[in-house]
Amino acid sequence: MKLKQRVVLLAILLVIFIFTKVFLIDNLDTSAAHREDQRAFQRMLSGLRVALEPRLEHTLQSPWEIAAQWVVPREVYPEDTPELGAVMHAMSTKKIIKADVGYKGTQLKALLILEGGQKVVFKPKRYARDYIVEGEPYAGYDRHNAEVAAFHLDRILGFRRAPLVVGRFVNLRTEIKPVATEQLLGTFMTVGNNTCFYGKCYYCRETEPACADGDIMEGSVTLWLPDVWPLQKHRHPWGRTYREGKLARWEYDESYCDAVKKTSPYDSGPRLLDIIDTAIFDYLIGNADRHHYESFQDDEGASMLILLDNAK
């Protein structure tokens, strides 16, 4: 082989060697970064796992007392919640000692009192899990499993602004009717072989009851916030008009955001940032119905936007 050919061959081998080395180093770096990402993801998953068991670290307190102590102006529950599982277990298993119609609103719900005096909101199952609601984004009934999913998304995002939610099966005949108020009991009926009720609310109709499978009804249970933290309701600045053909100001006025930023409580404090967080949250859960929102009362814009009613 001539010298010139040898030089060309050596140059080619050198180039191949350099590219191979760079590729291997990059690949090793990528693999190391990938492994670290996997470890970080596993650590996050481990921190999010909740074991639903009745054991409490503080044996002198009830689960309801513990949950009440968690609430502060900027979170409903703390990041490190070793007793979260015990509180959620109590929500899904404690005896129901009273049942009443839900608090005012547009959607069917029941107000339950659990053993120990804790209030919870029960939203009944209205759709199969794979049912697709047609029409407007805010159409149809509340979805009980959306409340459960929204609570866990709130945990994943680290917001900690949604009250605790669990799924629960209740026997309407043996658990609810014996402790129901006359007002709630008056809305019960039997459809075929199924026990049903239609409750009291803006859109509640005798012709549109929620029905159990026989006597067993699936639903979501949301923990009532402590009474020492009264709520204040606000109109959402980016709410819909809910009128066909009528646009809200934010839909046509390009200067609207600037106007909001000059209006209390969005001109100072964290409230406007909470609105942005909530917009992301609602997009992820598919909620197009946040026309109002709640904060703690007399907070002068300092408290969080509380993530309530996430079932649309």
Q: What is the spatial distance between Cα 168 and Cα 179, in angstroms, rounded to a whole number?
A: 17
CA separation, residue 246 to residues 152, 241, 242, 254 (Å)? 35, 7, 8, 17
**Catalytic sites, residue numbers:** 289
Encoded tokens for 148: 């459960």
Is 123 known to sit in a ligand binding site?
A: yes
Is 224 known to sit in a ligand binding site?
A: yes
Is 299 known to sit in a ligand binding site?
A: no
Cα 144 from chain centroid?
11
Encoded tokens for 157: 């995002």
Is 223 known to sit in a ligand binding site?
A: yes
Encoded tokens for 253: 């006025």
Residue 76 near residue 160, CB atoms below 8 Å: yes
Is 147 known to sit in a ligand binding site?
A: no
Encoded tokens for 254: 């390009």
Is 13 known to sit in a ligand binding site?
A: no
Is 108 known to sit in a ligand binding site?
A: no
Encoded tokens for 226: 């402590």
Which residue numbers belong to the known binding site for ATP?
107, 123, 222-225, 294, 309
Which residue numbers belong to the known binding site?
107, 123, 142, 222-225, 294, 309
